[in-house]
Chains A and B, each alone.
Chain A
Amino acid sequence: MRKLWALLLAFVLVAAACGGDDDDTTTDPTADDVSAEETSDTTEADQVEVQDVESDQAGVAGETVVGDPTPTDRGPEPSGTLDYAWHTAFSPRWFDPSVNTSSVSQFATQYILHDALVKSMPGRPFFPSLAEEYTVADDFTSVNFVLREGLTFHDGSPLTTEDVKFSFENYSGSGASTLQDMTREIELVDDRSVTFHFNGPFLDFMLLYGSTATGAGWIVPSDYYQEVGAEGFLEAPIGAGPFRFVENQDNVNIVYEAFEDYWRKNPGVQTINFNAITDAATRYAGLSTGELDLANVMTSDLLETIESDPNVDLVPTTAVPFWIEFMGYQDPESPFNDIRVREAVTLALDRTAINDGETGGGGEATGQWIPRQQQGALPAEPIEQDLDRARELMAEAGYADGFDVSALTPLPPYFSLGERVIQMLGEIGIRTELVQMDRGEFLAQVNNGTDANFEGIVVNISGAGGDAAVRVRNFAACGGAASRVCDPNIDEPFAEYEASTDPVEREELLNQIQQYIIDEHIFPYVYTLGLNMAQGPDVEQPGNEVWAQIPQYVYPGPWEDITVSG
């Protein structure tokens, strides 16, 4: 009976939180990689963390990075069917890497269907995949890739450097303008060797081309793509990944089958059924009955039931941090203009309580606003709640009796998180009210930079890929697309960073900027979101070997490594 109540309660709460259902159809960067569903309650399963990026693996100038050899022993034949439940509506645009918005949702599909010259893999952030090797020029003005021998697309056509060139030039997704503006020429040396020549030193090329920061390095078949057009490609996509497209049933059930010529190995399963199931209770029920093997994002109301269900393993994963933004804090009239007030806010938050309350301890209570998984992120120091010191700081700033703030707006639907923050700020006299904004409107306002129609305090989060510099560029540098900050102590070193070609100097500058943002309490860290995934007994790998294995990616993968019994 408890299961029934859990199912009902989950639906009612999620419906209330999300305005009718818990799905999210947007392609915004946070909508899919940071779920719209909240989680809570403790779990006993091992925590799975999004893998850290080792910053020295992008390729040292002048050295050739050689990939794993193409194996001669391809392993056992694919067998069985993997039934997977995605948690939002599916968009066929995810079939096309050329319109990748650096959304992790899209990467979930790309890792099934497509392959890249260089991509993130478990423990190998810049893993040469279709490329046998790559070489970054001494002066960072070019990068050469050599393709593996005998690569083919799913239709049997050979994968050549022409496809690499076309895919890059046709790419219009995240980071396209930067990549294409910086690239002077793509030289096809021969069928297997291709060199990208840049207009000047381009130190971020591999980060943008070979990670989840963009989808530019993923290869589509040029002849086929041009023959069917972009719209036709969405109807019947062809790639070079471990699974080929079979069928898309109404954007709800997408069927893939193993591509037995995939270069890396035989995929573990013969068929993947990718189901877009927007209701968490239905996903859980599917796991419980064995109709599903893997399911994204279990809501808090289901956790107790899941833990008592012998057919379902809960797999907590940690995602990305929430942080606070003070609207208009640089205005001298704003109380948040005083660093003591901002520090008081930092000290007022009990991160452990927030983590326990929001995700049952499944998230993290230590961190900074930039995800620690991202290349270049400064290690974070623990921040203990200290209400006495926070009140002292408020008094020193002239706010012993506190003050009123017009609004606190969290990313929908994390309203309970907003309530917790409001309650904690109330402890030091900062009185405010929760504003529940439409999720789409919130994301639009976030990307509206200084024109954002926010008031007071915003509790923000971002699931976009990239590195620490991307975060600074977007959120903290003057003129950044989602930035409401103009501070010469950030902008000047960041301009130096952008101009520098010395990796050591760049690292120092980036560290300096991050430390400044932390010391000035510009973006107080709130806590790191945890997401609870789940899997059934037929999956042969334990949860902590299935989920969040790929850097900055919390979903299952690599897909070809997953096997099922029965």
Chain B
Amino acid sequence: MRTFFIRRIFYSVITLVILATTIFGLVRLTGDPAYLLAPEGATEEELQSIREDIGTDKSLPLQFGTFITDLARGDFGTSFQNGQPVRDLYFDRLPNSLLLVAAALAFALVVGIPAGIISAVYNGRWMDTVSKVVALTGMAIPGFILAFAMMFVFAVQLQWLPVFGIGSWKNLVMPAIAVGWYFAASTLRLVRSSMLEILDADYVKLARLKGMTERKVVLKHAFKNALIPLITLTGVNFVVMINVATVIELVFTWPGLGSLLIEGIRGRDFPLVQGVTIMAGIMIVFANFTIDMIYAWVDPRIRLNR
């Protein structure tokens, strides 16, 4: 287990170093940010002064060295556009993203799990058909279309919910559904397929033969076992959702990490883009690492094979 742990740590660090190097290079392909910070008609001296202020006047190896050593200290630098430390900007926005994703995930599970169970239990009947249609539309309809449809109905027409902003539970409803919609559909599909497989298993049949009620068979024997892949998916989804809610954040003016990244990209804000991307990478690497560790702990064969 120890060797496996050390090897996974090593792989994780390598992944992050590759990510940091790649993002460092990619953002610099977008051009000179000094032009976007300078007033119109700025002289070369003024542009050079801006480059000196933000550190892009130095050679690329030197910039990279500074970037890596700062990164090792947990310093992502100062945003070119905002003049604020990227770490502060990131951690100011992170709770908003976590809140949105937690709500979206709750929505996805509350909708996806019961629908998946019903769909499996009533396989081939009308409720299954309805569930499959829900799953299909959930996977097919882009979140922003749903966002605007909800905005039109619940904010503009009915005026039950606010159009934009953050602060009350009412602000959270539409963004959470818009983000969680796709994941609700994928949860439904996963639960349905797992349940179908398990409901056909011998031990479930035996439970029925022993006279157990169908309700107990489904919830106690089948669903419990169907939860394992769902937990894995939920963990990965949680990390992914934090970083992919960009469009929904923009529609509802939700101050999360996705919109922060967009601001950085548009302003050639190298430290901001680097910081947000690397933090996203750390989250994903950490999630994968944790899952690997749990698997290895649960099933020792994994650590022997890998």
Contacts and interface: CB of A to CB of B under 8 A. Distances in A.
B83 A102 contact: no
B253 A252 contact: yes
B77 interface: no
A537 interface: no
Contacts of A231: 83-84
A7 B157 CA distance: 13
A112 to B, nearest CB: 18
A443 B35 contact: yes
Contact of A285 (B82, B155, B262, B263): B155
A464 B96 CA distance: 36
Interface string A172-184: 0111010000000
B267 A26 contact: yes
A93 interface: yes
Contact of A282 (B35, B37, B252): B252
From A24, A177, A288, A440, residue with most partner B Cβ within 10 Å: A440
Interface stretch (B143-151, B177-185, B193-201, B294-302): B143-151
A23 interface: yes
Contacts of B250: 20-21, 23, 278-279
A11 B255 contact: no
Nearest to A213: B39
B86 to A, nearest CB: 13
A24 B269 CA distance: 12
A23 B41 CA distance: 23
B255 A275 contact: no
A513 to B, nearest CB: 16
Contact of B148 (A11, A173, A438): A11
Interface residues of A, number: 66
Nearest to B252: A282
B70 interface: no
Nearest to A445: B35
A441 B148 contact: no
Contact of A27 (B36, B43, B96, B162): B36
A481 B43 contact: yes
Interface residues of B, number: 52
A480 interface: yes
Interface stretch (B10-18, B122-130, B163-171, B202-210): B163-171
A30 B165 contact: no
A173 B40 contact: no
Contacts of B92: 250
B58 to A, nearest CB: 19
A447 B96 contact: no
B253 A249 contact: no
Contacts of A444: 31-32, 35-36
B247 interface: yes
B148 A482 contact: no
Contact of B151 (A7, A25, A252): A7
B148 A286 contact: no
Given A91-B81, A250-B92, A277-B164, A464 B40 contact: yes
B39 A101 contact: yes
Residue among B31, B246, B259 facing the most chain A CB atoms (10 A cut-off): B259
Which of B39, B96, B263 has most A Cβ within 10 Å? Answer: B39
A289 B41 contact: no
Contacts of B267: 25-27, 89, 440
A465 B289 CA distance: 54
22 contacts: A8-B148, A15-B144, A15-B247, A25-B81, A25-B263, A92-B82, A92-B84, A101-B38, A102-B40, A174-B42, A230-B83, A252-B259, A282-B164, A285-B152, A291-B163, A438-B31, A440-B266, A440-B268, A441-B30, A441-B31, A447-B38, A482-B40
Interface of A: 3-4, 7-8, 11, 15, 20-21, 23-30, 89, 91-93, 96, 99, 101-103, 173-175, 177, 230-231, 234-235, 249-253, 275-279, 281-282, 285-286, 288-289, 291, 438-441, 443-444, 447-448, 462, 464, 470, 473-474, 480-482
Interface of B: 30-32, 35-43, 45-47, 81-84, 89, 92-93, 96, 144-145, 148-149, 151-152, 155-156, 159, 162-166, 246-247, 250-253, 255, 259, 262-264, 266-269
